[in-house]
Amino acid sequence: MGPSAALGDQRASMEVVKDWNGIDQVVLRAPRGASARVISWRNGRGEELLFTSSKAIFRPPKAIRGGIPLCFPQFGNCGSLEQHGFARNRMWVVEDDPPPLRTGESTGCVSVDLLLRPSEEDLKCWPHCFEFRLRVSLGADGDLSMISRIRNVDGKKFTFSFAYHTYLSVSDISEVRIEGLETLDYLDNLCNRERFTEQEDAITFESEVDRVYLGSPDVAAVLDHGKKQTFIIKKEGLPDTVVWNPWEKKSKSIVDFGDDEYKQMLCVDGAAVERPITLRPGEEWTGRLELSAVPSSFCIKNLDPTRSI
């Protein structure tokens, strides 16, 4: 496995290291001290910004409970595949010479390109040939971006759903609110995907939440009053936003999740769920997510939702 890094600064770096199972992991390091790997995104002060359960299982092919799993070619259990599809459970390879991104696409100061192709076992349960390219970039300011490109290299069209299943680390879920999703319709997975309209000015948490907000803006903010920090979530090519916290009762039923860990996490996913994506032979889809963490004085009203990321 050879490294592939785009270095915009000589102090930025990309390296491949072994985890405790002897499996290769890619680590990106930005000049100001920020870093990112499969399940970790740290700011320049070394503070972890993503949540990973203390009970997470790090043995393939088990999915890791935390980080940013990629849900493909199925989100949730709305289909014939395993929960959230198989991409999050597979071993990817570093691609030394990927096809170029479109003109003007930012790559950050250090990045790595990964590639996933279907195995024989994958083709038995989902008989479609694809190339899934993922570029993970870390900006000089510590922003994390992920660009997914899925190409149909099959002889027939196929359809898939997708999500960046982003586990954010928070101080206490009772101290968190989400802005940017107000007035939107959502599908409530706790009510058999019944459709409702968000009535609150911001989303707060007092019980289990499992919703798909439809036609959501390309920017939202997660305000953590306990940490005095705000996550800015920008997306492109992803029409929906998934919000999930299992709360106390469900947490106790999840094997690889601590009973009280729901208090320290929140999933806010850029996704394409309600209307799955269809690709004809030779077509390619692109979906991008960008995460930044800023002081809590930041106001989402300062963001221009029409500005491309």
Tokens (6 digits) for 290: 């960008």
Residue 187 has a pLDDT of 98
Asked if 53 and 256 count as a contact pair (C-beta separation under 8 A), the reply is yes
**pTM (predicted TM-score):** 0.89
% residues pLDDT > 90 (the chain):
69
Tell me the pLDDT tens digit for each residue of 36-90: 776 899 999 999 999 999 999 887 777 889 999 999 999 998 778 888 999 998 9
Residue 262 has a pLDDT of 98
- Give the fold, CATH level 3, of 13-298: Beta-galactosidase; Chain A, domain 5 (2.70.98)
| pLDDT band of 34, cuts 50, 70, 90 | confident
Tell me the pLDDT tens digit for each residue of 84-123: 999 998 989 999 888 888 755 655 689 999 999 999 999 9
- Return the sign of the alpha-carbon dihedral for residues 298, 299, 305, 307: negative
pLDDT mean across residues, the chain: 88
Tell me the pLDDT tens digit for each residue of 247-301: 999 999 999 999 999 999 999 999 999 999 999 999 999 999 999 999 986 555 5
Asked if 203 and 186 count as a contact pair (C-beta separation under 8 A), the reply is no
Selection from 231, 229, 237, 220 nearest residue 301 by Cα: 220
Residues 6+ apart with CB under 8 A from 122: 86, 90
The answer to whether 83 is a known ligand-binding residue is yes
Residue 5 has a pLDDT of 36
Pairing of strands 185-188, 240-245: unpaired
Asked if 158 and 128 count as a contact pair (C-beta separation under 8 A), the reply is yes
Locate the domains of the chain by residue range: 13-298
Preceding omega of 217 cis (within 30 degrees of 0)? no
| CA-to-CA dists, residue 121 to 86, 115, 128, 151, angstroms | 10, 17, 12, 19
| pLDDT band of 129, cuts 50, 70, 90 | very high
Residue 1 has a pLDDT of 30
| pLDDT band of 309, cuts 50, 70, 90 | low
Residue ranges of E strands in 32-175: 35-37, 40-42, 70-71, 93-94, 110-116, 130-138, 144-152, 158-164, 167-169
Asked if 178 and 216 count as a contact pair (C-beta separation under 8 A), the reply is no
C-alpha span between 106 and 102 (Å, rounded): 9
